[in-house]
């Protein structure tokens, strides 16, 4: 039985390239494609997949939120993040949030296939770069970048605030009260030693977390 792969990326050319790569393998097949996080959630409610390959930067629902929702709806389905953002920018936060591997889109095709197989076998896939990041976190925790000190939910709120979302919008998207979002915002600002939403946006741009 071929492993059923779900591709989630808003760029058709990326999905087409991944489909061509994956379908060269006898043990893997693309069973579904989604151009947005919302489309991905609709698909996993209807069909079963062995793995989802997920982008971060997408319209309507970014990969950070989509990862969390996929885990809620289909906790047994592992997720591999394949992003245009470098591993040192997002990987540690998203590994903590539950993804089983993280690769940048310039990874070698052989490594992408290897990661899919490892994750479908029930293990995490750690690239050499990500393994180094995790080792540094364990041996030198003080060297963490500020956004890496945030909890999963704090990171979600940080990402949305930095992208220009209001507390009301964030509350609606995360099914929280505005008061709870404000509490998270206060925690994020304190942990990152920042004062305003504009500071969060500047930090995110400077660290290439948003473009």
Tell me if domain 3-138 and domain 145-206 are identical in fold.
Answer: no
Specify the CATH superfamily of domain 3-138: Response regulator (3.40.50.2300)
Q: Does residue 58 contact residue 15 with C-beta atoms inside 8 Å?
A: no
Q: Does residue 127 contact residue 103 with C-beta atoms inside 8 Å?
A: yes
The arithmetic mean of pLDDT across residues 98-121, rounded, is 94
Which is more confidently placed, 87 or 122? 122
* CA distance readout (Å), 151 to 94, 99, 107, 158: 10, 15, 28, 10
Q: What's the whole-model pTM score?
A: 0.71
- Percent of the chain with pLDDT strictly greater than 70: 95
CA atoms within 13 A on the CB side of 9: 21
Domain boundaries, the chain: 3-138, 145-206
The Cα 78–Cα 85 span in angstroms is: 20
Q: Using CA of residue 176, residue 182, residue 188, residue 191, what is the dihedral sign? A: negative
- How do residues 138-187 score in pLDDT, each as one tens digit? 676 556 678 888 888 899 899 899 989 999 999 998 889 999 999 999 99
Reported in sequence order, the residue ranges of the chain that DSSP labels E, i.e. its strands, are 3-8, 28-34, 51-54, 79-83, 101-104
Report the interhelical angle of 37-46 vs 63-73 (nearest 10°).
10
The arithmetic mean of pLDDT across residues 189-197, rounded, is 90
Q: Does residue 176 contact residue 170 with C-beta atoms inside 8 Å?
A: yes
- Which pLDDT score, from 0 to 100, does residue 60 have? 80
- Which pLDDT score, from 0 to 100, does residue 206 have? 85
- Which pLDDT score, from 0 to 100, does residue 211 have? 65
Residues with Cβ within 8 Å of 64's Cβ and at least 6 positions away in sequence, in order, are 56, 94, 97, 155, 156, 159
Please state which CATH class domain 145-206 belongs to. mainly alpha
- How do residues 112-122 score in pLDDT, each as one tens digit? 999 999 999 99
Q: Does residue 8 contact residue 37 with C-beta atoms inside 8 Å?
A: yes
The Cα 114–Cα 65 span in angstroms is: 26
- Which pLDDT score, from 0 to 100, does residue 62 have? 85
């Amino acid at each position: 039985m071929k492993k059923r792969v779900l591709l989630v990326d808003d760029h058709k050319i990326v999905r087409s390239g991944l489909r061509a790569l994956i379908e060269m393998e006898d043990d893997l097949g693309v069973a579904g494609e989604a151009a947005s996080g919302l489309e991905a959630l609709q698909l996993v409610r209807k069909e079963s997949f062995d793995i989802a390959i997920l982008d971060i930067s997408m319209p309507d629902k970014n990969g950070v939120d989509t990862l969390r929702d996929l885990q809620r709806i289909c906790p047994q389905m592992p997720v591999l993040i394949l992003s245009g953002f470098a591993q040192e920018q997002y990987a540690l936060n998203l590994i903590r949030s539950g993804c089983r591997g993280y690769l940048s889109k310039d990874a070698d095709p052989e490594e992408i296939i290897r990661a899919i197989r490892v994750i479908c076998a029930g293990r995490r896939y750690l690239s050499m770069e990500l393994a180094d990041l995790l080792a540094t976190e364990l041996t030198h925790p003080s060297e963490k970048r500020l956004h890496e000190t945030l909890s999963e939910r704090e990171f979600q709120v940080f990402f949305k605030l930095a992208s220009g979302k209001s507390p009301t919008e964030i509350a609606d998207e995360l099914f929280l009260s505005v008061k709870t979002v404000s509490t998270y915002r206060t925690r994020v600002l304190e942990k990152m030693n920042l004062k305003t939403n504009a500071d969060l946006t500047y930090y995110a741009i400077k660290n290439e977390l948003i473009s």
